[in-house]
């Protein structure tokens, strides 16, 4: 086995690691056979020198198999999964997962918790009284086999190498490396066992990827890696120029998802959910085109089949399904504050990140993984890009556990809006599609 210092020097000098060397590095990380300072040095060398496509494939494969890999063969049919790179009011999973499952495509979703203003699906679902995501793999598989849909938390033995590498990347300034991001995301998705994966890569002020070329590069590499490792994958690049939905925060986003599935509201949140959901159907061969998929999903809303599937999900995982008929059974905030416009004009830009940071300040998100969240905290948006806003008109309502938190969030929230005298062209919602056939 080569000396780890030799491997660090090799990568530092811009040379490619062989498959055996990359696998040895990941194995050493997994088994704690390498000191953190050496792992950090290797990560910095990878960050500065980059990884070849071949190195990225091997790294992803090694990370995938550093721990348990889910075997979903007991669930009939082609299993679908979806991953978002994170955004504000990005509630698509709660809408598209029931819709897709109601079409007969099993959706096995292993989700994470929110960090920063990127909300976690687990936190949203756990704002439903009684809902549990703490399932063993065996229990999750049994539930999905029975109902066609399950949402569980990530198990500790899933991609342990990634857990260790990410913890060090976070504190060594090596997070912003596309090959390392790709291997982190795709190793978890592949280890989760689904046959097909649809990626929602967010781009804009409220996203990790701020510009389109970076988002396109990330999406292409993830699609290519997935295909190299035997999965059918496609990616949708969607805008985070403004919050995707109107409600931001865990219980609030559940309320909006219920309203969408009831056909009571639509907008950008519904459109992105349909785009992603239709591609989940397409990759599993349930439909022959994206348009056919969208038509089918809209019909599942109209007939109530999607809402019925959400009810089955909530019930099977111990939640109070009565929230579907009475959303006020969800947690409600003790304090609220309306924020109004200080001037008139056309709303031409939003600093979506500042809106997201406001929600964190109110208690809806975490700064550290160990932070507790307030499921009732959040924001109800009252305006969208392109609207003409009068001075004094409502921009949004802040919700928190006390008046002090609302007051703290008001200035940051108000600063997120930019107005112009003339109406500006709206940015497109879907920025690009990276198909599974990408070369």
Active site residues: 83, 162, 169, 184, 188
Q: How far apart are alpha carbons 419 and 397 in whole angstroms?
A: 19
Tell me the HSE value of 101 on the side-chain side, using a 13 A CA sphere. 30
Contacts of residue 73, defined as CB under 8 A and 6 or more positions apart, other chains included, come to none
CA 102 to each of CA 4, 262, 294: distance values in angstroms, whole numbers, following the listed order? 50, 14, 13
Contacts of residue 345, defined as CB under 8 A and 6 or more positions apart, other chains included, come to 388, 389, 419, 420, 421
Of 291, 254, 262, 251, the residue nearest 275 (C-alpha): 291
> Of all helices (H) and strands (E), which one includes residue 57?
helix 53-64
Q: Which residue has the tokens 């920025």?
A: 431
**DSSP line for 122-160:** HHHHHTSTT------HHHHHHHHHHHSEEEEEPPTTSSH
User: Could you count the other beta carbons within 10 Å of the beta carbon of residue 331?
Assistant: 18
Contacts of residue 49, defined as CB under 8 A and 6 or more positions apart, other chains included, come to 11, 12, 13, 14
Structural tokens at position 392 = 């004094």
Q: What does the CA dihedral 166, 170, 175, 179 come to, rounded to 10 degrees?
A: -10
- CB environment 223-238: b (16+ within 10 A), e (fewer): bbbbbbbebbbbbbbb
Structural tokens at position 115 = 């960090």
Of 78, 188, 93, the residue nearest 144 (C-alpha): 78
């Amino acid at each position: 086995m080569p000396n780890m210092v030799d491997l660090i020097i090799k990568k530092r000098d811009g040379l490619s690691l062989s498959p055996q060397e990359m696998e040895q590095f990941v194995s050493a990380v997994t088994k704690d056979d390498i000191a953190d300072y050496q792992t950090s040095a290797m990560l910095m060398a990878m960050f500065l020198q980059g990884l070849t496509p071949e190195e990225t494939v091997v790294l992803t494969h090694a990370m995938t198999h550093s721990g348990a890999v889910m075997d979903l063969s007991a669930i009939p049919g082609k299993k679908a999964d979806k991953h978002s790179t994170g955004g504000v009011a990005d509630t698509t999973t709660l809408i598209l997962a029931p819709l897709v499952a109601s079409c007969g495509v099993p959706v096995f979703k292993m989700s994470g918790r929110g960090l920063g203003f990127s909300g976690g699906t687990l936190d949203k679902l756990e704002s439903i009284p009684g809902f549990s995501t703490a399932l063993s793999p065996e229990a999750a598989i049994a539930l999905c086999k029975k109902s066609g849909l399950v949402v569980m938390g990530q198990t500790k033995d899933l991609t342990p190498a990634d857990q260790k590498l990410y913890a060090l990347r976070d504190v060594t300034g090596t997070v912003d490396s596309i090959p390392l991001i790709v291997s982190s995301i795709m190793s978890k998705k592949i280890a989760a066992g689904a046959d097909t994966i649809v990626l929602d890569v967010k781009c804009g002020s409220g996203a990790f990827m701020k510009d389109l070329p970076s988002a396109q590069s990330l999406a292409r590499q993830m699609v290519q890696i997935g295909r190299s490792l035997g999965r059918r994958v496609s990616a949708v690049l969607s805008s985070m120029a403004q919050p995707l939905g109107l409600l931001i925060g865990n219980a609030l986003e559940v309320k909006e998802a219920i309203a969408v599935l009831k056909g009571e509201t639509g907008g950008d949140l519904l459109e992105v959910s349909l785009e992603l959901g239709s591609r989940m159907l397409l990759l599993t061969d349930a439909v022959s085109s994206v348009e056919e998929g969208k038509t089918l999903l809209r019909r599942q809303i109209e007939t109530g089949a999607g809402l019925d599937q959400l009810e089955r999900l909530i019930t099977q995982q111990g939640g109070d399904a009565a929230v579907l008929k009475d959303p006020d059974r969800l947690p409600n905030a003790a304090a609220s504050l309306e924020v109004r416009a200080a001037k008139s004009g056309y709303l031409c830009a939003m600093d979506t990140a500042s809106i997201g940071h406001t929600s964190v300040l109110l208690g809806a998100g975490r700064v550290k993984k160990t932070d507790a969240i307030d499921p009732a905290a959040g924001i109800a948006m009252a305006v969208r890009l392109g609207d003409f806003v009068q001075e004094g008109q409502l921009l949004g309502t802040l919700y928190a556990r006390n008046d002090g938190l609302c007051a703290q969030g008001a200035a940051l929230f108000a600063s997120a809006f930019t107005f112009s005298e003339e109406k500006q062209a709206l940015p497109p919602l879907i920025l690009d599609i990276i198909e599974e056939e990408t070369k």
